[in-house]
Structure 1
Amino acid sequence: MSNAVSDFLFFGAVLSLLSYELGLRLKKRFKWAVFNPLFISICIVMAFLYVFHIDYEVYNKSAKYISYLLTPATICLAIPLYRQLELLRKHSKAIVAGTLTGVFTTMVTVLLLALVFGLNHQEYVTFLPKSITTAIAMGISEEMKGYVTITVASIIITGIQGSIIAETVCRIFKITEPIAKGIAIGSAAHAVGTTKAMEMGEIEGAMSSLAIATSGLCTVLFASVFSNFL
């Protein structure tokens, strides 16, 4: 099967897009948070490759073209932010404080869990950038000699979990302020969480988009400090 699909230049891209489309349809029909389109598509792709004994390298060779769209898609997140520029100026102090708090909490949580589970230094720094966008996190993990592939996996898992539980957490803790919701989701669950924030409202989406950029910059600074703690 690997030999057959390797001749199809866009096999991986087609499989990924069809899987994601199925995830969207399931989410639209059942309205359950667990039916996250990204999570569904990952499960489908993994199952397909396993059942038909297709090597990951074969899949990735034809799926990598989708990655080229990551940068322009991230840049597009600036559009809702621009629309809420006045709101950004008005609440700049609260936004900065919220983002810094989110990044600091992530760092402390990773440190505590590393101590509890007895992780070594390389394993510890691998998870420090788990809550920021992949492009920045990979650079941080590589610079600190972490396991880059595990960093990417942790980023995906973090984003999916954040997207699934975001509304529930806000409801449990009675968080109703759109700015607070957006900053919390963006600083904890990066771009995947931001898609959920956009579903919740334009302000939430704009603030979450802002948190992606600011959290990434703050993590670059904080990670270099926290990496010395273990």
Structure 2
Amino acid sequence: MKIILLTAITYLFYLISKWGYKKWNNPLFSPLLLTPLLLIAFITIFHISAGSYLQSSKLLTHLLGPATIAFAVPIYKHRLLLKKYYMIILVSVTTGTIVAIISSYFLSILINLQSDFIISIIPRSITTPIAIEVSQDIGGLPTLTTVFVILTGIIGGIIGPYAIKLLALKSSIAKGLTLGMGAHGVGTSKAMEIGEQEATFSTLAMILAAWITVVWGSSLIPLLMNVMSSS
């Protein structure tokens, strides 16, 4: 009964947030920002522990995998377009993953984060299921990594459209890759609001970023960790 109740409440908060976002079109009403805040307020008021909530809402967490796989549909639909621009996509996403990892590392060093935090924050720019695996492989804390991934997605999803407007990006490729690389799943959701082609390129950027970061997990990331341990 508790599982059904908390799942239903989570979905209700999401619907309320989505309604507010559609009505006022304000980033502060983004479902991915407002829904967690409503949930935090709810479990705090009713004295529900975070562990208990996570245990009771596992159904929603398990749906994350199938939802990620479903992104393959637009990729297949626009496969000829992706084949045409494959080199631009590959170079852009590879560069994006390197920038994400190195910037995360040096910003963490700059604000004097502990080593566990640094290792956990490095895989923040990829989709949650893969980020958790990378975090485990490099000795990070998967729960902490999940928090950083969510924060990256929410912030990227909010400022992404403004960045696109500021940079005057016109190409659907540029818009999609920017949102997918910068905000993974959340960015892809935002790209879907712009157009189908943007969503396709965003999806591919998110998937490629995850694969490439897995490769960096056995090369670039250990190098940075060695630098950290020797300094």
Give the TM-score taking structure 2 as reference length: 0.92
CA pair 118-57 structure 1, distance change in 2 beyond 3 A: closer
Residues of 1 paired with 2:88 and 2:103: CA distance?
22
Identity of counterpart residues, as a percentage? 32
Q: Which ranges in structure 2 are unaligned for 5 or more consecutive residues?
A: none
Determine whether 1:64 maps to 2:58.
yes
Task: Give the match for residue 26 of structure 1.
Answer: 20
Of 201-210 and 63-72, more deviation after overlay is shown by: 63-72
CA pair 226-57 structure 1, distance change in 2 beyond 3 A: closer
Residues of 1 paired with 2:32 and 2:126: CA distance?
17
Residues of 1 paired with 2:207 and 2:105: CA distance?
23
Contact conserved, 1:182 with 1:203, CA < 8 A, in 2? Answer: yes
CA pair 62-168 structure 1, distance change in 2 beyond 3 A: same
Task: Give the match for residue 3 of structure 1.
Answer: none
CA pair 125-9 structure 1, distance change in 2 beyond 3 A: closer
In structure 2, which of residues 147, 159, 183 is the aligned counterpart of residue 189 of structure 1?
A: 183
CA displacement, residues 174-229 of structure 1 (integer Å, 9 cap, x when unaligned): 11111011112111211111100111111110011111111001111223323332
| Secondary structure of 1:9's aligned partner | helix
* Root-mean-square deviation (Å): 1.3
Equivalent residue runs for 1:45-84 within 5 Å = 45-84=39-78
Equivalent residue runs for 1:129-140 within 5 Å = 129-140=123-134
Determine whether 1:213 maps to 2:207.
yes
Letter in 2 for 1:226: I
CA displacement, residues 108-148 of structure 1 (integer Å, 9 cap, x when unaligned): 21122022112343221111110101111111111211121
Q: CA deviation at 1:19?
A: 0.7
Letter in 2 for 1:190: H
Contact conserved, 1:98 with 1:184, CA < 8 A, in 2? Answer: no
CA pair 118-88 structure 1, distance change in 2 beyond 3 A: same
Of 7-16 and 98-107, more deviation after overlay is shown by: 7-16
Considering Cα pairs closer than 8 Å and 6+ residues apart, tell me whether 1 or 2 has the greater RCO. Answer: 1
Residues of 1 paired with 2:40 and 2:135: CA distance?
25
In structure 1, which of residues 116, 122, 128 is the aligned counterpart of residue 110 of structure 2?
A: 116
Runs of 4+ in 1 over 3 A off after TM superposition: none
Give the TM-score taking structure 1 as reference length: 0.93
Of 103-112 and 56-65, more deviation after overlay is shown by: 56-65
Contact conserved, 1:126 with 1:150, CA < 8 A, in 2? Answer: yes
Task: Give the match for residue 178 of structure 1.
Answer: 172
Residues of 2 paired with 1:131 and 1:159: CA distance?
8
Q: Which ranges in structure 1 are unaligned for 5 or more consecutive residues?
A: 1-6
Residues of 2 paired with 1:149 and 1:99: CA distance?
25
Contact conserved, 1:11 with 1:59, CA < 8 A, in 2? Answer: no
Contact conserved, 2:125 with 2:184, CA < 8 A, in 1? Answer: yes
Determine whether 1:226 maps to 2:221.
yes
In structure 2, which of residues 140, 143, 148 is the aligned counterpart of residue 149 of structure 1?
A: 143
Of 139-148 and 126-135, more deviation after overlay is shown by: 139-148
